[in-house]
Amino acid sequence: MRSTMQETPLGIATLLRFASTAYSGSKVHTVTADGLRTGTFAEVGARTAQLAHALHDDLGIRGDQRVATFMWNNQEHLETYFAVPSMGAVLHTLNIRLYPDQITYIANHAEDKVVLVDGSLIPLLARVLPGFETVEHVVVVGAGDTAPLEQAGKRIHHYEELLAGKPTSYDWPDFAETDAAAMCYTSGTTGNPKGVVYSHRSIYLHSMQVTMPQSFQLNEANRVLTIVPMFHAMAWGIPYAALMSGASLVMPDRFMQAPALVRAIHDSGADFAGAVPTIWSDLLNHLDATGEKIPTLKRAVVGGSAVPPALMSAFEERYDMRIIHAWGMTETSPLGSVSQPPAGAEGERAWSYRVSQGRFPAGVQARLAGPDGAIVPNDGEAVGELEVRGPWITGAYYRDEDPERFHDGWLRTGDVGTITPDGYLTLTDREKDVIKSGGEWISSVELENHLMAHPAVAEATVVGVPDPRWQERPLAAVVLREGAEATPVELREYLSGLIPKWQLPERWTFLQAVPKTSVGKFDKKEVRRAYAAGDLEVTVL
Amino acid sequence: MRSTMQETPLGIATLLRFASTAYSGSKVHTVTADGLRTGTFAEVGARTAQLAHALHDDLGIRGDQRVATFMWNNQEHLETYFAVPSMGAVLHTLNIRLYPDQITYIANHAEDKVVLVDGSLIPLLARVLPGFETVEHVVVVGAGDTAPLEQAGKRIHHYEELLAGKPTSYDWPDFAETDAAAMCYTSGTTGNPKGVVYSHRSIYLHSMQVTMPQSFQLNEANRVLTIVPMFHAMAWGIPYAALMSGASLVMPDRFMQAPALVRAIHDSGADFAGAVPTIWSDLLNHLDATGEKIPTLKRAVVGGSAVPPALMSAFEERYDMRIIHAWGMTETSPLGSVSQPPAGAEGERAWSYRVSQGRFPAGVQARLAGPDGAIVPNDGEAVGELEVRGPWITGAYYRDEDPERFHDGWLRTGDVGTITPDGYLTLTDREKDVIKSGGEWISSVELENHLMAHPAVAEATVVGVPDPRWQERPLAAVVLREGAEATPVELREYLSGLIPKWQLPERWTFLQAVPKTSVGKFDKKEVRRAYAAGDLEVTVL
C-alpha cells in the first residue's frame, strides 16, 4: 500500500530558500585583520544565486561537474557550499593541509573543473596547480597576488567580479535527493586518499540531526564559532545546520591562533563552537596566561581525536564552558556519537558518560565486530571494531571500491572499543593498532596507559609483532625517565596486577624516545618496522 | 553522479530499536483511576515485539493489512503505534468522537481487519461494530464487559492474553521507506471523511522535526503530557517524537477532565504538554477556582484552532507556563507552523509573533494563492489561501482523488491568511467562509471582529451571499445586546472608518442568536441557508 505523502525530495536548494527568507536576518561573520565583516542569510541567499549564475554562464559548469574549494572558513566558502550543490554540480572541498602529492591526486581523481581559492592561499595552491589536469578555471576570493598562479595555464577569475551584476535569484533545478551534492577525501595513513560523496538527502538529514537537542541543539539565537575547517569533513555539517536552524555563524578565516579566536569570540558574542582538541589546549593556555575570559562561549563540541578529561574540567571549572565530546569521521558526514550524559545523571556518573565518545542518534546504527568478524554484545565489556550504518554513512568510496572497509553493508570504522547496553561508545584503539593474539584482541592503548603510569616510565608504546603461535604478541617499547631505572621483569611484574595474564608482553625494548608522526602521535608503524628490521635490542621474557 | 551514501531506509522499526536501547529507561506513564501505571521504553520495545507476534501468528495479519485502534492515549496504544507499522502492516487510528455513520464508513473504506479497543470504550464500539464489514478480530485492552461486542460476530481477544509468552524480539522486515505506515481520516463538514496515509519516511522525518529546537524542542529530560488524542492527527506526532528524543510520555487515557489532568501533572512532573485550546480554558478555570498550581509544567503547544491571546497571557502571568501556538492538520502529519518568535524579539514585538500561527520549518514550503489562483507575495498584506508542500504533506487522499484540494502538487489547506516576509503565518478565515467579491476576498472574520467591538452588538456573523454583479457580497447578521439599539445605517457608518469602502456590507439582518455548530462555532452554513430560503428579514442599504 502506497502512502499518500508528497514525493518532495530533500535538497540543499530547499534549505537555502528557507533560510534566506525565514532567517533572513541571521548573520555570517568573517574574521579579518581589522575585525569582523558581516553578511546576512538574505545576502548569502542572493550572492549564492549570483555565484551559481557565474559558474553556469561564465565558467560553463553543467550537470554534476566538480567545483573545488581551497579555502578557509569564510562567507564566500559558505556561498560556495550552497551554490554548487543547489545548481546540481558537486562541491569538492580540498584539504589545504595535505601533502602536495595528495592534493594533486585528489583534484585529478575527482576531475575538478574549477577551483575557488582564498587570496591568502594562492602561494600554497600555486605549488600544486600545474598538476591539476582537469581544472580549467581558478576563482580568486579576496585580495591576493595572482602572479604565482599564472604559469599553470588556467583561466583566472575574481570572485566579486564574477558575481557583479548577476541576478540575485536562480531557478534551482530539481533532481533526485540521492544525487551527489558534495565530496570530501579522507587521507588514511597508507594508500591513496579515498573520496566520500555526500548526497542532498544525506546532508539534509544530517543537518536536521545536528540541530536536534540530543546532538548540538542549535537554534536561531545561537552564534556558532566554526573553527573546524570547512575543508575537513564539511566542518562537521555546521554550515548546513546553521541555515537549517537559523543559527548565526562566526568564521575565523585564516585567523586560527588563540588570541585571534578570543577576539572573534568577544566581537561576535559566539556562544557555541566546534574544533579539535589541540585548538582548545592552545586556547586554554592562552586564557590561563593572559587572564582573559570568554564569557559568552558556553558550549563547544570537540572531536577528531579523544579529548583529555583534564581539558574538559579545566574549561568547565575556570571558564564556565562545557566541552561536549563527539565522535565521527569523514565517512559518517561526520555526526556519529555525542557524549550528552543520560537525563538525570549527575556528578561522577555524568562525568563517566561525558568522557566517553557518547551515544548515537536514531539515524546511526552501531555495532561491534570482534576479532573473528562476529558481532559481540553491547555490554560495556566486549571489545570489537565499531561498524556503523545509516542514511548519512558512506557505503563505498568514489571510484575505489575497497570492499574490505565494509561488512555486510556496514562501514568498518577502524576504531575499536566497547558499547554499553544504553548505547554509549568508548573507543580504545585503532583497529590497526590492536594486537590480535590467538583470536582475542589486546588493547595497545590500555597497556600504554598502565605503563606510563609507572613512576620510572616517561613514555611507552605497545605494538603487535608477528608470533608463530599466537599470530601477534605485544612488544613494549619504553622510554625511562631521566635517571630512573626499571627492568623488563619489574615492569611485567607491575603490569601483572592490572591486566589479564595472557595480555602481558613477553618482548621488551628500551628507547631514547618514542618515534612520533607529523601530528605528534606515537608512530607505531616505525616501531614495527624497526623491530622487523632487527634494529631494536629486544629482551624476551 | 551518484553519492556513495548507504541506502538505508527511514523506518519506524529503526526508531523503536533505537529508543528501546538508547533510552531504555525513559518512561511511559498511563493515568488510571488509582494514579499512574508506568512502563519503560525497554518494556515498550519488548511488548511491541510480542504484539507483532500476536498480530502475525494469532490474528493472521500479513502484508499491508490495516489494524485499527479505538483507544484513548495509553501505553498499549503506544505499543500498537510501533508494532503495526514495524511489522509492515498499516495502523489506522479511528476517531472515537465522530458520528457512528462516519466511523463505520471509515472502517469499511480502509478495510480494517482488526480493531483494538479500550475496555472503557466497548459500549461506544459496540454501536458501530456490526457495520464493520471487513473486521474479523476485536482485541480488548484492559478490563471491560465484552458482552455488548458479541452480537457482531467477530472473534474477541484480550490484549494481555495475546501477548503472554510471545517472544520479546521480532525480526522486523525491510521495506521501502515510502510504504504506508499509518492512516488517519479527516472529517470535513461536507462529504465523506478522507483518508491520509503516512509513510515510514514521513513519520520519521516528522519525528526529527518535532524534536528540533525550532519546533517542540524535546529531549530525554522532558516529560510530555500528551493530551491531544492519539486518534487525532497521530497526537501531533508526539508519540513517535518521544521515542526519537527519549522524552518520557504521560498518557491521560480517559481521564481528560481538568482535575484529573492536574493530578497527572503532579504525579508525573510533566513539563511539556500538547492539547487544543478548550482543554486549556477548562484547566485555567479549574486552577483559578481551586488555587492549585502546576509548577513543573513550563511549556504547552496548543493548536487545532486559534488560541485566544488572553488564554496565553493568563497562563504566562499566573502559572509561569508558556503557550506555544501552532498550526497543522491531519494532511500535514500535522506539524506545520510553530509560533516561536524570532531570536532577539522581546515585549510587544515578540507577542505579535507569538499570537500568529508561526513560522514553518525547512521541511514545509508554504505559499498563498489569491482568489484567481495566482500566487500572492509574502508581504504580510496580501491575502490568499495557504498552500503547502513537503515530505510529510499529503499529495492525495486514499482511494478518493479529490484533485480540487491540490494545486500543481501543493496541498490547498482551505485556510486563508497572510505570510510576512520572514515567514510568519496569520490565518483569518477558512476559504469557504471568505467572501469572494469581484475577484477580491473579503475576510468575514475581520468584519465580525469589528462588528462585535461595537458597544451595541452582542454577536455578529458575516457570510457571503450571491450577488449578480459581484458574484458574492457580505451579509451581516447581528445580535444586539439586551436593551441596546443600532440601525444598519449606524453600523455601516461605524464600519466605514475601519475597513475599505468596497468591503462594507449592503445587506443586514438582526437575529435573536447566531446559530452555532455542535462545537460552538458560528454555523455560517445555516445563515446562508436561511437567507437563500427567504427566512431572514433583510435590509439592503
CA angle at residue A328 from A327 to A334, to 5 degrees? 140
pLDDT of residue B522: 82
Task: Choose, from A134, A186, A296, A509, the residue flagged as catalytic.
Answer: A186
Any B CB within 8 A of A389 CB: yes
> Whose CA is closest to A335, among A355, A357, A351, A315?
A357
Any B CB within 8 A of A213 CB: yes
Please indicate whether, in this complex, the C-beta atoms of B201 and A10 are within 8 angstroms of each other.
no
pLDDT of residue B190: 64
Nearest to B389 among A4, A8, A180 (CB): A8
Residue of B nearest to A408 (CA): B6
Which of A2, A3, A211 would best serve as a mutation to test chain B binding (most B beta carbons within 10 A)? Answer: A3
CA distance B233 to A56: 45
Nearest to B5 among A25, A198, A219 (CB): A198
Please indicate whether, in this complex, the C-beta atoms of B6 and A395 are within 8 angstroms of each other.
yes
End-to-end CA distance of chain B: 69
* The C-alpha cell that represents A142 in the structure block: 579576496
Q: What dihedral angle (degrees, nearest 10) is formed by the CA atoms of A389, A394, A397, A401?
A: 30
What ipTM was estimated for this complex? 0.92
Whether A194 contacts A186, CB under 8 Å: yes
CB-hemisphere CA count at 13 Å for A122? 20
Strand partners, A67: A91, A114
Positive or negative torsion for Cα B51, B56, B59, B61: positive
Any B CB within 8 A of A21 CB: yes
Any B CB within 8 A of A349 CB: no
CA distance A37 to B506: 59
Average pLDDT over residues A357-380: 96
pLDDT of residue A519: 63
pLDDT of residue A465: 95
Question: Does A441 qualify as catalytic in the annotation?
Answer: yes
pLDDT of residue B375: 97
Task: Choose, from A436, A459, A509, A525, the residue flagged as catalytic.
Answer: A436
Please indicate whether, in this complex, the C-beta atoms of A391 and B64 are within 8 angstroms of each other.
no
pLDDT of residue B430: 85
Single-letter residue type at A14: T
CA distance B476 to B498: 15
Average pLDDT over residues A361-381: 95
Please indicate whether, in this complex, the C-beta atoms of A422 and B22 are within 8 angstroms of each other.
yes
Show pLDDT as tens, one digit a residue, over chain B (541 residues).
Answer: 899 999 999 999 999 999 999 999 999 999 999 999 999 999 999 999 999 999 999 999 999 999 999 999 999 999 999 999 999 999 999 999 998 999 999 999 999 999 999 999 999 999 999 999 999 999 999 999 999 999 999 999 999 999 999 999 999 999 999 999 999 999 765 678 999 999 999 999 999 999 999 999 999 999 999 999 999 999 999 999 999 999 999 999 999 999 999 999 999 999 999 999 889 999 999 999 999 999 999 999 998 888 888 999 999 999 999 999 999 999 999 999 999 999 999 999 999 999 999 999 999 999 999 988 999 999 999 999 999 999 999 999 999 888 899 999 999 999 999 999 999 999 988 888 889 888 888 989 889 989 988 999 999 999 999 999 999 999 999 999 999 999 999 999 999 989 989 999 999 999 999 888 766 678 888 999 999 999 999 999 9
Q: How far is A243 from chain B (nearest CA, A)?
A: 9
> Whose CA is closest to B122, among B97, B150, B101, B102?
B150
pLDDT band at A188 (very low <50, low <70, confident <90, very high): low
DSSP state of B391: T
pLDDT of residue B189: 55
Q: How far is A18 from chain B (nearest CA, A)?
A: 6
Is the pLDDT confidence value at A345 over 80?
yes
Average pLDDT over residues A245-263: 98
Question: Does A516 qualify as catalytic in the annotation?
Answer: no
Domains of chain A and CATH, by start: 12-335 (3.40.50.12780), 360-430 (2.30.38.10), 435-540 (3.30.300.30)
Any B CB within 8 A of A407 CB: no
Any B CB within 8 A of A399 CB: no
Any B CB within 8 A of A25 CB: yes
Q: Which residue has 535538497 as its cell numbers?
A: A11
> Whose CA is closest to B244, among A78, A209, A445?
A209
End-to-end CA distance of chain A: 69
pLDDT of residue B395: 97
Residue of A nearest to B331 (CA): A5
Please indicate whether, in this complex, the C-beta atoms of B393 and A6 are within 8 angstroms of each other.
yes
CB-hemisphere CA count at 13 Å for B26? 32
Please indicate whether, in this complex, the C-beta atoms of B2 and A209 are within 8 angstroms of each other.
no
pTM of the predicted structure, to 2 decimals: 0.93
Instruction: With beta carbons under 8 A apart, name residues in chain B contacting A214.
Output: 211, 219-220, 245-246
Any A CB within 8 A of B5 CB: yes
Q: Which pLDDT tens digit goes with each residue over A112-126?
A: 999 999 999 999 999
User: Which residues in chain A (369-388) have CB-CB distances under 8 A to chain B?
Assistant: 378
pLDDT band at A308 (very low <50, low <70, confident <90, very high): confident
CA distance B201 to A5: 9
CA distance B32 to B219: 26
* Exposed/middle/buried for residue B363 (C-beta within 10 Å: 0-12, 13-18, 19+): buried
Task: Choose, from A441, A448, A461, A524, the residue flagged as catalytic.
Answer: A441
Which of B1, B2, B3 would best serve as a mutation to test chain A binding (most A beta carbons within 10 A)? Answer: B3
Task: Choose, from B436, B446, B472, B539, the residue flagged as catalytic.
Answer: B436
CA distance B418 to B415: 10
Any B CB within 8 A of A217 CB: yes
pLDDT of residue A80: 98
Instruction: With beta carbons under 8 A apart, name residues in chain A contacting B346.
Output: none
Q: What count of residues does chain A have?
A: 541
Instruction: With beta carbons under 8 A apart, name residues in chain B contacting A397.
Output: 4
pLDDT band at A376 (very low <50, low <70, confident <90, very high): very high
Instruction: With beta carbons under 8 A apart, name residues in chain B contacting A208.
Output: 205, 208-209, 212
Is the pLDDT confidence value at A518 over 70?
no
